[in-house]
Structure 1
Amino acid sequence: MNTAATDPDGSGFYEIRLQGRLDARWAACFEGLTLTTGDGFTLLAGPVTDQAALHGLLHRLRDIGLPLVSVRQVGTDDEPRTPLHTDSTPGA
């Protein structure tokens, strides 16, 4: 997807994959994003308003200390990603 041609401001739906697991209590820190964990990874997915918001989100993730695996902008016409296994156990 050519982000510059479709969304010059960087707005859109993003998937951010981290190595390691964030438990459900972190979801409040990433309002508007879905937090899914499994298989040693965490996936944050949801809308991002612009490039400034994306950079702010990436800075918060950096401060948590989990390695960044990928950042992917997805469109509505993209195939949905295979969801990670969701662990509903508190503190997992």
Structure 2
Amino acid sequence: MSACGGPAQYEIRVAGVLDSRWAAWFGGLQISGQGEETVICGQLADQSALHGLLTKVRDLGLCLISVRRLDAGQAGDEAP
């Protein structure tokens, strides 16, 4: 497990559907739709990067559903 302030994998869920074209806006993170939600997933360098990502979510007016820090073993576990 990484230190609290260091790089870590995150999964951010928002209400609404964004397609993969938004990946550049979110720094190349993986964007995937799941029903009426969008999952933004990937590695962030530190807590500052996480807060920057959450600011982008807010600036788009998206409804934040959840933020999860993933353990190394969880990253990519939800692939079909």
CA RMSD after TM alignment: 1.9
Counterpart code for 1:23: D
Which residue in 2 is equivalent to 1:70? 66
Instruction: Judge conservation of contact 1:15–1:44 (CA < 8 Å) in 2.
Output: yes
**Between Structure 1 and Structure 2, whose CA radius of gyration is higher?**
1
Q: TM-score, normalised by structure 1?
A: 0.75
Structure 1 gaps of 5+ residues are 84-92
Which residue in 2 is equivalent to 1:52? 48
Alignment of 1:1-92 (within 5 A): 6-78=2-74, 80-81=77-78
| Equivalences, count | 79
Q: Using the alignment, how far apart are the partners of 1:59 and 1:10 within structure 2?
A: 19
Once the two structures are TM-superposed, the CA of residue 10 in structure 1 deviates from its matched residue by 4.5
State percent identity of aligned pairs.
Answer: 43
Instruction: Judge conservation of contact 1:32–1:47 (CA < 8 Å) in 2.
Output: no
Q: Using the alignment, how far apart are the partners of 2:34 and 2:9 within structure 1?
A: 21
Structure 1 residues 78 and 27, CA, compared in 2 at 3 Å: closer, same or farther? closer
Structure 2 gaps of 5+ residues are none
- Secondary structure of 2:33's aligned partner: strand
